Chain A
Amino acid sequence: MSIATSTPLKTANDALGIGHLVGRALIVLALLALIAAPLAVYPVFLIKILCFALFAAAFNLLVGYVGLLSFGHAAFFGGAAYITAHTVKEWGFTPELGILAGVAFAATLGLVMGFLAIRRQGIYFAMVTLALSQMVYFVFLQAPFTHSEDGIQSVPQGLLFGIIDLSKPLPLYYTVLGAFLLGMVLIWRVVNSPFGNILAAIRENEPRAISLGYEVNRYKLAAFVISAALAGLAGAVKAIAFQLASLVDVTWQMSGEVILMTLLGGIGTLLGPVVGAALVTAMEHYFAATSIPAPVLIGGCFVACVMLFRRGIVGEIRHRLKARSSR
């Protein structure tokens, strides 16, 4: 049928909901900016932003595209950081192997936590993930290899693939940037794939998806594991970059922070979590030096955001652009 072949593939998951060409130009610009960024901004600060941005993007894959609000993602982020730090420092793993070990741990943990949590919905799902992540926190607090309050310190950065010296700021920055981009491309691919289409259907109307023969729990679990693995990638990279794995990254506050970043930037948008993570990290960074307590400001900002633009920053921009183009 001729209509069918000429029908453009519309997706609700267009990166920004703007035209194709404009969107591509923006992506190229953003990439150039990311490559040139260390010339203008302190690389360590950028690395921190990228790690949290990937973490938030991984979290958003679940909440934004499957509709599952996890309140336990710190377990994957901080857990992977511990495993990477330990394998690299104590077992002499190369950085890439250490990161791989961290990601594998996060994915496995995601499989277990996801399996237990997806049977519940809404607030109960969030509560189950919170409870399970608190158990993970407790294990890391007690396990001797984590050195409890001290954390695993001075993790050697070593040579990535035997050639890239990660102890120098610029190679380290570009390595983290590479991991971040890899994660983002993967998320984009998952969302805009046949599998992603089914995830969207499940989020939209779960009973209907079941009545069409989909074992929805399997799809949710697969998405949960992918999200956990990517959150683990963010934590693993962070452990190498900052030579540290600590309890802070497995606390429930960290799970809360990633929710805040994602809400602030815009749930269900590809770039929202990145913007949210950058904003929160920047606020924490700049207000740390002043007498103003950062949490109060971030909290205020969050309240203002929720009241003024519920869709989050990127979500609001997308909405306005769409409204304008349809006028």
Chain B
Amino acid sequence: MLSSPTGSAERTGDVILAAEGLTKEFRGFAAVRDVNLKVHAGSIHALIGPNGAGKTTVFNLLTRFMPATRGRILYRGQDIGRTGPAKVARQGLVRSFQISAVFPHLTVLDNVRVALQRPRHLATQWWRPLSTLRSLDDRAMELLTAVQLADKADLTAGELSYGRKRALELATTLALDPQVLLLDEPMAGMGHEDIHHVADLIRQVAKGRTVLMVEHNLNVVSQLCDTITVLARGEILAEGTYTQVSADPQVREAYMGSEDDDD
């Protein structure tokens, strides 16, 4: 149901997304400083770090929602440092947002259809009736079924619970058939049950794709992610597997006090 993306030139293990000397300064204050990051195709890569470490800024830079002050971003070997955010998304590098990003007044089905419209060339026809979009319903329902939202298709997205909104967002993102998914705190504000559910979902969608995620819940990170990059005060502190990273004294120091907050 969640078919792997098509046309991927990268083999598992190749670097699909890389940042070189990535820096973002806000009026002289460096929110992100000289970040070098390599995300390998087919992996689930976590970006963790205390509040204010610059994780979301890195996301904004990588997806071109924010221009970098310095540094290069290479996606599938190409420099995307001058590419617009919408074009980056069309090339298969698709992000989610920290605050759940649904279209609240559209129906659940419509939310997914909006994502399907552009790849299926049904986005600019102002002269055709809305019923033209019915041709997208089968695929939309497939995606909704995969995230267990099929029975909620006719509800307004704003009516969904928080966890279900995140699931809807994932279905919408998957509609683009992305190569690389950047998930910004997919578990934030979720209860235990939802966390398990979404973790399963991510594991499922990660097959044949690459996932880079910002996440606070270290428990989830330890179970889900192959590589972990720890960011603190805008700089990379450590990188490796969960065991390697958690043994690092610098990481322990940076995380002191906050590790207990995450179950």
Contacts and interface: CB of A to CB of B under 8 A. Distances in A.
Interface of A: 1, 3-5, 7-12, 189-190, 192-198, 200-201, 204-205, 207-216, 219, 222, 226
B154 interface: yes
Interface of B: 63, 65, 84-87, 89-90, 94-97, 101-107, 109-110, 113-115, 117-119, 122-134, 137-138, 140-142, 145, 150, 153-154, 172, 176
Contacts of B94: 211-213
Contacts of B118: 198, 212-214
A189 B127 contact: yes
A7 B130 CA distance: 13
Contacts of B96: 211
Contacts of A214: 86, 118, 123
- A192, A195, A212: which has the most chain B beta carbons within 10 Å? A212
Given A5-B134, A192-B129, A213-B87, 10 more contacts: A7-B109, A193-B129, A194-B126, A197-B114, A197-B133, A205-B101, A208-B97, A211-B65, A213-B90, A215-B86
Given A4-B141, A205-B101, A211 B63 contact: yes
A9 B134 contact: yes
A194 B141 contact: no
Q: Taking each of B90, B103, B132, which has the highest tally of chain A beta carbons within 10 Å of its own beta carbon?
A: B103
Contact of B123 (A5, A8, A195, A208): A195
Contacts of B129: 189, 192-193
Contacts of B142: 1
Contacts of A195: 123-126
B110 A212 contact: no
Contacts, number: 134
B101 to A, nearest CB: 4
Contacts of A193: 125-130, 132
18 contacts: A1-B142, A3-B141, A3-B153, A189-B126, A192-B130, A193-B132, A197-B114, A197-B130, A198-B114, A207-B101, A210-B65, A211-B94, A211-B96, A211-B101, A213-B87, A213-B89, A219-B124, A222-B126
Give me the 7 closest cross-chain CB pairs, A-B, nearest first.
Answer: A4-B137, A195-B126, A213-B89, A204-B103, A208-B101, A213-B90, A4-B141
B172 A212 contact: yes
A222 B127 CA distance: 13
B138 A4 contact: yes
Looking at B115, B126, B130, which has the most chain A CB atoms within 10 Å of its CB? B126
A118 to B, nearest CB: 14
A136 to B, nearest CB: 26
